[in-house]
Amino acid sequence: MGDDDEDKQPSLTVVSENPNARADRQIEWAKNEAQGALSQFAAALLRAMAGNDTEAAFLVRHLARFIEALSKFRAEADRGLSVAELQEALRLPQAELDAYGDDDWRQRRWLREHGMDVIVKGALRLAAHKVLGEEPAFGGMHSERVIERGIETLEELKRPPPPKPRPRQTKNLAGSRDDFDLGAPTKKLKRRFGERLGPSPAPRASAQRSTSRRAGFDASDLKELRRAIKAKGDKRIAELTAKIGKPPFDK
């Protein structure tokens, strides 16, 4: 291989997978332009029908722009717009739920847009008959029912939304005493030894003792135990012997 061969670099050639890619893009752009011009003309026509004088003045210009865009598309695609492509340009968009936001807000927004779309569709049917000066079939009953359905959908927005369920909260049983409602303060009842709660007769004075009393067994109890043994008082003997081994005081 000589030096001349080394200096020569192979030329790079870009080969597209689709040789008609550029032509397809041109056709797609021409179609979008024709559909957009048709949508502009249709919107201007509706506004002119509603009494907008400005749109009526530029209505022919919108029509000429559509015809020009349609001719350009025909030159690129060698055909005119199909019925499906015409419907795509003129059909009203369908209401859809928003992807973000609160569920209740998204639902109410969809109801409003859907209800308005249904009303508009029914009104357009009646308007088409009025433009031609003809009587709609069955007196426009079908179109009126469509409008009524849209109104009923909008009526749903006037109803208050259902209350949201409150999240369940578990009480902290180890919390402070302020977490509990104790109601009005009541008189605290103290029960003494040998005393019953309720309207029972007052206990004998000998049975009333202080809440802080001796619990242990001491010398006085020993003397009393001897007397109880001599008197054969089994109950008193059991009470005194039960005190053996207890701490001196029981609060």
Within 50-200, where are the H helices? 53-57, 59-77, 83-90, 103-132, 141-155
pLDDT for 62 equals: 94
Residue 189 or 52, more confident? 52
Count CB atoms within 10 A of the CB of residue 23. 12
Q: Is the pLDDT of residue 79 over 90?
A: yes
Question: Does the residue 184 lie in any domain?
Answer: no
Task: Provide the pLDDT for residue 72.
Answer: 95
Q: Which tens digit of pLDDT belongs to each residue from 111-163? A: 888 888 888 988 888 888 888 888 877 778 888 888 888 888 888 877 776 67
* Residue 101 identity (one-letter amino acid): G
- Coil vs helix vs strand at 249: strand
Residue 239 confidence (pLDDT) above 50: yes
Is position 64 within any domain? yes
> CA-to-CA distance for 251 and 243, rounded, in angstroms?
15
* Higher per-residue confidence, 225 vs 197: 225
The reported pLDDT for the residue numbered 73 is 95
The overall average pLDDT reported for the chain is 75
Domain-embedded: residue 172: no
Q: What SS3 class is residue 91?
A: coil
Which residues, in sequence order, are CB contacts of 196 under 8 Å at separation 6+?
A: 203
Question: Which one of 61, 90, 119 terminates a domain?
Answer: 90
Q: How far apart are CA 22 and CA 30, in angstroms?
A: 12
Cα–Cα distances (Å) from 8 to 12, 14, 213, in that order, read: 12, 19, 120
Task: Compute CA distances 26 → 21, 74, 88, 190, whole Å.
Answer: 9, 11, 19, 99
Tokens describing residue 185: 């303060």
Q: What are the residues whose beta carbons fall under 8 Å from the beta carbon of 120, sequence distance 6 or more?
A: 92, 150
Closest by CA to 208, choosing from 224, 223, 190, is 190
Query: Quick check: 103 pLDDT over 50?
Result: yes
Q: 249: which strand partners?
A: 214
Give, as one character, the DSSP assignment of residue 178: G
Q: Are residues 31 and 84 in the same domain?
A: yes
Domain match, 64 and 117 both: no
pLDDT above 90: percentage of residues in the chain: 21
Whether residue 77 is found in the same domain as residue 116: no
The answer to whether position 168 is within a domain reads no
Count of domains observed in the chain: 3
Query: Based on the domain organization, do 52 and 75 belong to the same domain?
Result: yes
- Does some domain include residue 163? no
> Per DSSP, what are the bridge partners of residue 250?
213
Q: For residues 231 and 60, which has the higher predicted lDDT (pLDDT)?
A: 60
Rounded-to-integer distance, Cα 126 and Cα 143, Å: 7
Which pLDDT score is estimated for 6?
A: 54
Band (pLDDT 50/70/90 cuts) for residue 35 is: very high
Return the pLDDT at 248: 56
In a domain, 8, yes or no: no
User: CA triplet 169, 173, 178: central angle to 5 degrees?
Assistant: 90
| 84 plus 30 within the same structural domain | yes
CB under 8 Å to 221, separation ≥6 — which residues? 240, 243
Picking from 47-56, 115-124, 194-203, which range would have the lowest pLDDT averaged per residue?
194-203
Q: What is the pLDDT of residues 212-233, one digit of tens each?
A: 455 566 777 777 877 877 777 7
Note whether 117 and 86 are same-domain residues: no
* Range 6-28 average pLDDT: 69
Span of 21-25, 105-109, 111-115, 150-154 with lowest mean pLDDT: 105-109
> Would you say residue 236 lies in a domain?
yes
Q: Identify whether 204 is part of a domain.
A: no
Q: Are residues 78 and 26 in the same domain?
A: yes
- What pLDDT is recorded for position 199? 53
pLDDT of residue 109: 83
**Which residue range(s) make up the domain with 83?**
21-90
